[in-house]
Amino acid sequence: MDTAADELRALSRAGALVERYPSVRGLLADADADVVRRVGRLLSRVRPEDVLTAHPGTPQVRIAVTGTGTLDGVVAPLTGELARHGLLARVRSGDFGGYVAELSDDAAPAADITLVLLDAAGVFAEVPTPWRADDVGTALADRVSLLEKLVIRFTSAGRGTLVVNTIPLPRRYPAQLVDHRSRARLGALWREANAKLLRLTEDHPSLVVLDSDALAADGVAVTEPRLSTYTKAHLSPDVLHAYAREVAHLARGLVGRVKKVLAVDLDGTVWGGVLGDDGAEGIEVADGYRGEAFQAFQKVLRQLASQGVLLTAVSKNDPEPVRAVLSGHPRIAVREEDFVRVVANWRPKHENLRELADALNLGVDSVVFVDDSPYERGLVRRELPDVAVVAVDEEPALHVDRLVADGWFTVPDLTAEDVARPARYQEELGRRDFLSSFDSIQDYLWELGVRVRVSRARPEELARVSQITLRTNQFNLTTRRLQPADVRASADDPDAYVLAVHTADRFGDNGLVGVVLAHREADVLRLDNVLLSCRVFARGVEQATLSALLAHARDTGASAVVGEYRATPKNGKVRDFLPSVGFATVTDDGDTATFRHDLTDIAPPPEHVGLTVDWNRA
Amino acid sequence: MKTIDDFVTLVGDELGLAVGPEDVGRHLDEVAGWDSVLLLTLLTALERETGRRVPFAEVLEAESLERIYTLAIGG
């Protein structure tokens, strides 16, 4: 999606990039690396002084780049990645090969972060032709010992954070040795040098070493031979971008914007399925193909929580079943005690996140939120732009990489204080009442463009209607289960209504998500059941559907619509649904309640819903 | 990328330069905002868009956007 890049380019052309700089962060929040780099290119042409004059509060980070090759390729990704975090990058790119001078010159302009980019070509430039593994070993040892001296000098001068990368070894070098023994020797020498670089961090707190091997193992090409040969850009654009991304997270830490809270959705994120509908036995927690994928994700959550990340759950569920799974499921890998708080209720998630941050005495900008629902992510992003939102989707095997793709919780050092943090915050499970109000998200719903279509179910939809009656437990007024043959019989009955509710919004088509079953008895329309997938609760869909049905009953000569609610352990939240749309309670014995609407005063559908109805039979 | 107009759009998108059709024949030194460093980005983008190999060394020696376009499309 190019919209962010397009919008920013338009701002750039209009000369409004400086004026609108504060909006850049939001536009880049979801952008892919290409867009971030392109926007970084635009921003790198803006004078930082102008941004600071227009927006004096903008946090700025000064970055000096130096190394052994052409370095300009890192400026755009650095600028873009920092902008993604709301940070103004002031990048100073050093001369080609000037890293020795840069690092040893205490009079060089001050920088918060000095980035030294090392590459294999720089090492092989010092190696004779022809060469053997030991020649490379000698050159590497010289290089590393020089770097060590430079690091000592630089850090003892207190010149800020120094970032060095381990030197990636492209295959083109070991492949020039024809015997495996020599290749192994070269590999060992190379890694010993890199290991020495990595170990320097043990003695130098302000040194950070980025491990290139981890990037290469994920398939990031570290070099592009033509760029390397012709322009001396020995590190590929992709690997430079990956470094820039890490540096941006370091920069966040330097300006005190570290993330501390990881708030995860549960259904579809921590386990597969819908707890309220599928039950504790029906969700995918640890077994089967998908269960194993979810369990791997659970382990990573536990892993992060053990290092001081405040793990919380924010789920649209009733609290009791959630607690039962988190404390009692025999195979779940992240448990109640790993969470500092579990919020399971039916309120909009941004409200829960805001209260959660308050309760933890942290700013909402310290929260990272993970959810598989584009609706929930969109709402949180809109209402709480300071929250980092991580998208996972219906493929749980990708959850782990999505979560760790950005180093949201990366810090230079883990302190004992960090590790002890979760225990200090641990609290009882939060319990809140279900509230289906959508007042607080009204603006979002307008932007969401909710569309609802109510129509008689077509023959090919009857199986899905049956499935909804069999699987839906929460928004299910009477919990009458219907087999496909039952549904077909109703559909064929001229006095009966089998209504399918389809919804869509700007995130896409949700498909057939709701069902209304009713039948006409003389001049009364009797509701047999109303069902709605919990994926689309509280967006006005249920109100719009009932409004349409009531109007239809009135227009076709009915004197009243009657309905009932039958309590089950799972459908408590819809006990008050019919009264909330204008029905009067006729009887209520606690288990079963009956309601009546006399059709004199029908609430219109919510204004944000685009409603279409079709009462014709297929 | 089928026409030189597509190419001009690509240059604008990738490099963030406000270039128009009038710039294609100009010497690169006279294109506002041009910097030889931008070629690194442009080379990779051209290969991605055209799906074919671009002769890097010749592009690096090109003196106008028009020449780069001709090289990129294999002319």
Amino acid symbol at A128: P
Distance from CA of A50 to the nearest CA of B (A): 18
Choose the mutation target among A231, A232, A236, A241 for the interface with B, i.e. most B CBs under 10 Å: A231
pLDDT of residue B75 exceeding 70, the answer is no
Over range A511-538, report the average pLDDT: 92
Positions of E strands within A243-353: 261-264, 310-316, 341-345
**How confident is the model at residue A94, as a pLDDT?**
81
Q: Any residues with CB less than 8 A from the CB of A556 and at least 6 apart, and which?
A: none
Give Cα A457 distance to the centre of its chain: 36
Q: Which two tokens stand for residue A324?
A: 């039962």
Q: Is A232 on the interface with B (CB under 8 A)?
A: no
Summarised one tens digit per residue, pLDDT across range A243-281 is 999 999 999 988 888 899 999 999 999 999 999 989 999
Q: Is A453 on the interface with B (CB under 8 A)?
A: no
Q: Which two tokens stand for residue A278?
A: 């599928």
**Could you tell me if A3 and A28 are in contact, meaning their C-beta atoms sit under 8 angstroms apart?**
no
Amino acid symbol at A323: R
- pLDDT band for position A470 (50/70/90)? confident
Summarised one tens digit per residue, pLDDT across range A25-55 is 988 988 888 889 888 988 988 899 999 999 9
Q: Is A77 on the interface with B (CB under 8 A)?
A: no
Q: Is B57 on the interface with A (CB under 8 A)?
A: yes
SS3 A60: strand
pLDDT of residue A590 exceeding 60, the answer is yes
- pLDDT band for position A433 (50/70/90)? very low
Distance from CA of A8 to the nearest CA of B (A): 10
Q: Which two tokens stand for residue A187?
A: 């590999």
Choose the mutation target among B56, B58, B61, B71 for the interface with A, i.e. most A CBs under 10 Å: B56
- pLDDT band for position A359 (50/70/90)? confident
Between A and B, how many CB-CB pairs are < 8 A? 45
Q: Which two tokens stand for residue A363?
A: 């700013």
Over range A82-99, report the average pLDDT: 88
pLDDT of residue A427 exceeding 70, the answer is no
Over range A421-437, report the average pLDDT: 55
Q: Is B71 on the interface with A (CB under 8 A)?
A: no
pLDDT of residue A431 exceeding 50, the answer is no
Q: Is B33 on the interface with A (CB under 8 A)?
A: yes
Angle in degrees, 0-180, between the axes of helices A33-43 and A3-13, rounded to the nearest 10: 10
**Could you tell me if B38 and A76 are in contact, meaning their C-beta atoms sit under 8 angstroms apart?**
no
- pLDDT band for position A524 (50/70/90)? very high
Q: Which residues of A touch B13 (CB under 8 A)?
A: 5, 9, 38
- pLDDT band for position A379 (50/70/90)? very high
Fill in the DSSP letter of residue A272.
B
pLDDT of residue A438 exceeding 80, the answer is no
Cα–Cα distance between A40 and A33 in angstroms, integer?
Answer: 10
Is this complex's ipTM strictly greater than 0.95?
no
Summarised one tens digit per residue, pLDDT across range A310-328 is 999 999 998 889 999 999 9
- pLDDT band for position A429 (50/70/90)? very low
**How confident is the model at residue A360, as a pLDDT?**
82
Q: Is A355 on the interface with B (CB under 8 A)?
A: no
Summarised one tens digit per residue, pLDDT across range A541-561 is 999 999 999 999 999 999 999
Q: Is A226 on the interface with B (CB under 8 A)?
A: yes
**How confident is the model at residue A422, as a pLDDT?**
82
Summarised one tens digit per residue, pLDDT across range B20-65 is 999 999 999 999 888 877 888 888 889 988 889 999 999 999 999 9
CA distances from A448 to A7, A338, A345, A386 (A): 20, 35, 22, 20
CA distances from A386 to A33, A208, A369, A474, A596 (A): 20, 27, 11, 32, 46
Q: Which of A77-81, A110-114, A414-418 has the weakest average pLDDT?
A: A414-418
Q: Which residues of B touch A227 (CB under 8 A)?
A: 40, 43-44, 56
Distance from CA of B58 to the nearest CA of A (A): 10
Percent of chain A with pLDDT over 90: 69
Positions of E strands within A211-274: 261-264
Hey, are the CB atoms on A13 and B18 less than 8 Å from each other? yes
**Could you tell me if A537 and A568 are in contact, meaning their C-beta atoms sit under 8 angstroms apart?**
no
pLDDT of residue A436 exceeding 50, the answer is no
**Closest residue by Cα to residue A298 from A253, A257, A329:** A329
Q: Is A5 on the interface with B (CB under 8 A)?
A: yes
Hey, are the CB atoms on B12 and A233 less than 8 Å from each other? no
Choose the mutation target among A34, A39, A41, A238 for the interface with B, i.e. most B CBs under 10 Å: A41
**How confident is the model at residue A435, as a pLDDT?**
41
